[in-house]
Structure 1
Amino acid sequence: MNLKRVAPLFVLMALVAAAFAFRLDRYLTLEALKDHRALLLVFVESHAFLAAIGFVLAYAAVVALSLPGATIMTLAGGFLFGVPLGATLTVIGATVGATLLFVIARSAFGDLLRQRAGPFLARMAEGFRKDAFSYLLFLRLVPAFPFWAVNLVPALLDMRLAPYVAATALGIIPGTTVYTAFGASLGQVFDAGDDVRLKDVFSPTLIAALVGLGLLSLLPVALRRLRKAPS
Structure 2
Amino acid sequence: MELNYKKTIFILLLLIGIIFAIINRENFNSENITNYLDSFGNFAPLIFIFIYAIATVLFLPGLILTMMAGAFFGPIFGTIYSIIGATIGATLAFLSARYLTTGRIEKMIEGNKLDYIKKSVEGEGWKFIAYTRLVPLFPFNLLNYSYGLTNIKLRDYIWASFIFMLPGTFAYVYLGFAGTEIINNEENLISTILILIAIFATIFYIPHYLKKVSKIANEYEKNNLT
What is the aligned residue count? 197
Question: Over alpha carbons, which structure has the higher Rg?
Answer: 1
Q: Deviations over 1:164-204 (max 9, x none)?
A: 00111012111111111111133345669xxxxxxx98998
The 1:202/1:111 distance shift into structure 2, 3 A limit, reads farther
The 1:84/1:148 distance shift into structure 2, 3 A limit, reads same
1:130 aligns with 2:130: no
The match for 1:58 among 42, 51, 57 is 51
TM-score by length of 1: 0.66
The 1:121/1:60 distance shift into structure 2, 3 A limit, reads closer
CA distance in 2 between partners of 1:25 and 1:210 (Å) = 36
Aligned-CA RMSD value: 4.1
Aligned-pair CA distance for 1:25: 4.8
CA distance in 2 between partners of 1:168 and 1:127 (Å) = 16
The match for 2:60 among 67, 82, 107 is 67
Secondary structure at the counterpart of residue 138 of structure 2: coil
What is aligned with 1:81?
Answer: 73
What is aligned with 2:205?
Answer: 209
1:140 aligns with 2:133: yes
Secondary structure at the counterpart of residue 172 of structure 1: helix
Aligned-pair CA distance for 1:133: 0.4
Query: Within 5 Å, which residues of 2 pair with 1:140-219?
Result: 140-188=133-181, 205-206=201-202, 208-212=204-208, 214-215=210-211, 218=214
Secondary structure at the counterpart of residue 61 of structure 1: helix
CA distance in 1 between partners of 2:162 and 2:213 (Å) = 14
**Percent identical:** 25
TM-score by length of 2: 0.67
CA distance in 2 between partners of 1:140 and 1:166 (Å) = 11
What is aligned with 1:27?
Answer: 28
CA contact (8 A) 2:68 2:176 kept: yes
Query: What code does the residue aligned with 2:206 have?
Result: L
Q: Deviations over 1:131-150 (max 9, x none)?
A: 12000111111011111111
